[in-house]
Amino acid sequence: MRRIVFPPVHEATEDGLVAVGGDLEVDTLLTAYRNGIFPWPISVELPLAWFSPDPRGVLDFHELHLSRSFEKFLRKNTYRVSFNQDFKNVILSCARMRRKNQPTTWITPDILTGYEKLFKEDLAYSVEVWNEENKLVGGLYGVVMGQFVSGESMFMLEDGASKFGLYSLIEHLKTKGIKWLDTQMVTPVVEQFGGKYIDREDFLERLTTLDWTLPKGNIF
């Protein structure tokens, strides 16, 4: 069995860069997340980059905020949600999603392969949002390692689909005793739900309180 070692996160650059290089095998990713580190490729041409930003984005479920417009959306909602039914198409859709001020995707072919391996090992999940024609119109994916759950990326093809996916994920996780989600950054959507930044040290302390050995079946 390989011994995977990352530099201490307190040695990260101001931007949170911890290390450059390495691979995206399952044991590497598991070690990274357990140490508060995640891969964030800068480009396909450059070596793989690993980050542990300070501060760190999280969403505490007891602070979940629903706007009046979203509550109105929920009352009229016709979308259907599922979990772990189409991981490949969800992550591919996230990679294809065009984002403001982001000319290229960070979800490189290596990321696709690495996280598909995680999914096969029950260490990643997907949320699918379907419209009335049973078309995949939104969703998100992330990692699930015991009690640790992250949100990596989301996409939407119809209004409100990604928000509904995230809301459905939160409501599901609450029933399983999960109390917060690692969002890494606080995007506008995450902020709308009450996401916030916390100090990296506080984030790392949270990681020490989690049970990382729970089977995925205990969560999804």
Q: Where do we find the tokens 């699930």?
A: 144
Cα 121 to chain centroid, rounded: 17
Question: What is the distance between the alpha carbons of residues 60 and 155, in angstroms, rounded to a whole number?
Answer: 22
Burial of 216 (0-12, 13-18, 19+ CB in 10 A): middle
pLDDT digits (tens, 9 = 90+) for 176-186: 999 999 999 99
Helix segments in 40-196, DSSP class H? 68-76, 87-96, 109-120, 161-175, 188-192
How many other C-beta atoms are found inside a 10 Å radius of the C-beta of residue 169? 24
d(CA 27, CA 16): 22
The strands making up 196-198's β-sheet, listed across from edge to edge, are: 180-184, 56-60, 196-198
The pLDDT value given to residue 102: 55
Residues 6+ apart with CB under 8 A from 165: 81, 127, 128, 129, 138, 139, 140, 154, 156
Quote the mean pLDDT of the chain.
95
The pLDDT of 102-124, averaged and rounded, is: 90
Quick one: pLDDT at residue 42?
A: 85
For residue 105, the model assigns a pLDDT of: 73
pLDDT at 101 over 70: no
Q: Which residues are paired to 60 by β-bridges?
A: 180
pTM: 0.95
- pLDDT category of residue 46 using cuts at 50, 70 and 90: confident
